[in-house]
Structure 1
Amino acid sequence: MPVDPARILEDLSPFYRREEFPVLLHQYETWSESRPLEGCRVIDASPVFRNTCAKYAALLAAGADLTAAVSPVMPHDPETVALLGRYGIPVAEAERTEGPYDVVMDCAGALSHVLSRCGYVELIRSGAQRYAGCPQPVWMVDAGRIKQIETCLGTGESFFRALEALGAESGPGRTLVVIGCGKVGRGIVLHALSRGLNVTVADVEEKPLPAPSASFIHAADGKALSNAVKQAFCAVTATGRRHALSGVIDPAVTRSSGVLLANMGVEDEWGPEIPKERQLNGGRPLNFILPDPTRMCYIDPPLALHNRGAVELAAGRARPGIFPPPPEIEEAFLSLIRSRGSVPREMLDWIS
């Protein structure tokens, strides 16, 4: 039997203040009484790190019969996985799991093959292709505004925190190349500009840049991109596409210059021509070298939205196919963050 979820929150208290995870705490407090997942078999493939335990506490408080899944797709912290065993939460290998479960809570499509009675909740954009054509409901967390708090604000912050953990100097005046200007790339650019860095953005389409001081290169212009990377202190990919730079970037650039190469996407974005040993963290998402790959205040909202999707599916309040979280639910979350959370209001204004 799992431990009392209150024990999990007690164990987290030395690491996080209550205002750092107001939405998950609200779910824990509310669901402890309403028990919306009473008796539901739920499997959750969220990346297993210390702050993910607050998510599990809310699901257990809701009455879920919870299993955590780990997969080769996403990194995890072995110490936290071992801790789940002590909490009485079973841990399964995603690729060997069959089900059925009442609700499958997925990440990057690692559990898309698992049978589900009520449907699926997918956490990140790269998992969407696994669910194309799925006849069951697929609650897509990444399709809403809330996910931008993690991907734009949180991932941008953790990129620089990871660089600092490796001893890399990222002070004012240095040049950073950001390849891909979606939510993750934009967040990196915003944090880079706030640190006084010179920023060059490369993308396959020219988009409005976060600041006029940032410069733009078309990502298909291999010569210009290779030259920009050669002159930077660091180049980071955030395209969301596997092997996005294969055949574009000149591999000689990475051999002849001391530029740091980083990836913030789930897939290998630099491509097979760039050796893994030449990339920080072996080409895996750089922030996953940290105990908390995303700070609790930024990961709290999307993890809570992932949880809420499970409740909505279990209650039958969903339609077939891939769909975004309802705006009214996201607005309720944002209201909680503004009133009880620690994310500065001006940072919340950055998300669209």
Structure 2
Amino acid sequence: MPISPARILEDLSPFYRQKEFPVLLHQCRTWAESRPLEGCRVIDASPVFRNTCAKYAALLAAGADLTVAVSPVMPYNPETVTLLDQYGIPVVNAQQADAPYDVVMDCAGALSHVPSRYGYVELTRSGVERYARYTQPVWMVDAGKIKQIETCLGTGESFFRALEALGMENGQEQALVVIGYGKVGHGIVLHALSRGWNVIVADVEEKPLPASSVSFVRATNGEALSNAVSNAFCAVTATGRRHALSGLIDPADVLSSGVLLANMGVEDEWGPGIPKERILNEGRPLNFILPDPTQMCYIDPPLALHNQGAVEIAAGRARPGLFSPPQEMEEAFLALIRSRGSVPPEMLDHLS
């Protein structure tokens, strides 16, 4: 029998202020009364870290019969897994999970093989391919604005927090090369500019940049890209593609330079030409060296939207196949964040 949601929130109180997770707290309070997941068997494969426990508290408050799945696809914190055992929340290996559940709450498609009675909730875009042909409802958290708070603003912030934890955040006089200008790359650039860094963006196509001081290199120009990386303080990949830099950069030039190399994608984006030991955290996402890979204020909204998807699917308010969260729901989340949260409003204004 799991402990009470109140106990979990009490254990989190030394680490997080209430204004850092207003949406999950709102769910805890309102669902404790309405119990929208009463008796519903739910399995959740969100990355297991200390701040994820607030998500579990909301699901328990909603009445869910909760199981947590850990996956080799995503990093997790072993100490938090041990804590869940103490809380009475079952933890299973995602690859071995096979019992039918009422709602499957997935991340990167790790639970796409698990039978579900009502449907699925997928946290990341990397899970889309696994669910492309599903006829059951698949709520795609990553399809709207809310996930950008994590992938753009939160991941950008955690990149610099990880550099600082390694004692390496001292490159403001040199260039930071950000390779890949999607949501993650955009967030890294925004936080770099707020810290006064010199920034070079590399992408396969030129896109609008947030400031005239940001330089651009076309990533298909291997010579220019290799030169930019070799002369930078740090170069970080955020392309979302495995081995994206293979054939684009000259490994000899990069390896003979003093540039710090980092990756913020799930896959190895530098490719086999760059030894793992030459990349910070051996090529794994750099922010996962941190106790909280994404700060609570940035992870709160998408985790809450993931929870909301379970409620909507269990209630039958979902259509077959992949679908995005309703815009009005996302706007309600944003209003709650603006009125009660700690994410800087000017950062929220950058969401597209």
* TM-score, length basis structure 1: 0.98
Could you tell me which residue of structure 2 aligns to residue 217 of structure 1?
A: 217
Q: Calculate the aligned-residue CA RMSD, in Å.
A: 0.9
| Structure 1 residue identity aligned to 2:319 | R
Could you tell me which residue of structure 2 aligns to residue 351 of structure 1?
A: 351
Contact 2:152–2:188 under 8 Å retained in 1: yes
Deviation at 1:246, TM superposition (A): 1.5
Q: How far apart are the structure 2 equivalents of 1:237 and 1:12?
A: 33
SS at match of 2:188: helix
| Structure 2 residue identity aligned to 1:349 | D
Deviates more, 1:93-102 or 1:300-309: 93-102
Deviation at 1:171, TM superposition (A): 4.3
Deviation at 1:31, TM superposition (A): 0.3
Q: How far apart are the structure 2 equivalents of 1:251 and 1:349?
A: 38
| Structure 2 residue identity aligned to 1:300 | D
Aligned runs of 1:8-23 on 2, under 5 Å? Answer: 8-23=8-23
**1:226 maps onto 2:226 in alignment:** yes
SS at match of 2:68: strand
Could you tell me which residue of structure 2 aligns to residue 123 of structure 1?
A: 123
Could you tell me which residue of structure 2 aligns to residue 289 of structure 1?
A: 289
Deviates more, 1:195-204 or 1:295-304: 195-204
* TM-score, length basis structure 2: 0.98
Deviation at 1:55, TM superposition (A): 0.2
Deviation at 1:217, TM superposition (A): 1.2
Could you tell me which residue of structure 2 aligns to residue 156 of structure 1?
A: 156
Deviation at 1:99, TM superposition (A): 2.4
Q: How far apart are the structure 2 equivalents of 1:34 and 1:294?
A: 30
Deviation at 1:251, TM superposition (A): 1.2
Aligned runs of 1:135-284 on 2, under 5 Å? Answer: 135-284=135-284
SS at match of 2:73: coil
Could you tell me which residue of structure 2 aligns to residue 63 of structure 1?
A: 63
Contact 2:160–2:169 under 8 Å retained in 1: no
Q: How many residues align?
A: 352
CA-to-aligned-CA distance 1:198-224 (integer Å, 9 cap, x gap): 111111111101111111111111111
**1:111 maps onto 2:88 in alignment:** no
Q: How far apart are the structure 2 equivalents of 1:113 and 1:177?
A: 38
Could you tell me which residue of structure 2 aligns to residue 34 of structure 1?
A: 34
CA-to-aligned-CA distance 1:247-275 (integer Å, 9 cap, x gap): 21211123201111111111111112211
Q: How far apart are the structure 2 equivalents of 1:154 and 1:278?
A: 25
Q: How far apart are the structure 2 equivalents of 1:58 and 1:134?
A: 27
Contact 1:171–1:196 under 8 Å retained in 2: no
Q: How far apart are the structure 1 equivalents of 2:17 and 2:274?
A: 41
Contact 2:136–2:321 under 8 Å retained in 1: yes
Contact 1:246–1:270 under 8 Å retained in 2: yes
Q: How far apart are the structure 2 equivalents of 1:2 and 1:56?
A: 10
Contact 2:233–2:260 under 8 Å retained in 1: yes
Percent identity, aligned pairs only, is 81
Deviation at 1:40, TM superposition (A): 0.8
Could you tell me which residue of structure 2 aligns to residue 309 of structure 1?
A: 309
Deviation at 1:343, TM superposition (A): 1.1
| Structure 2 residue identity aligned to 1:313 | I
Contact 2:171–2:233 under 8 Å retained in 1: no
Deviation at 1:169, TM superposition (A): 3.0
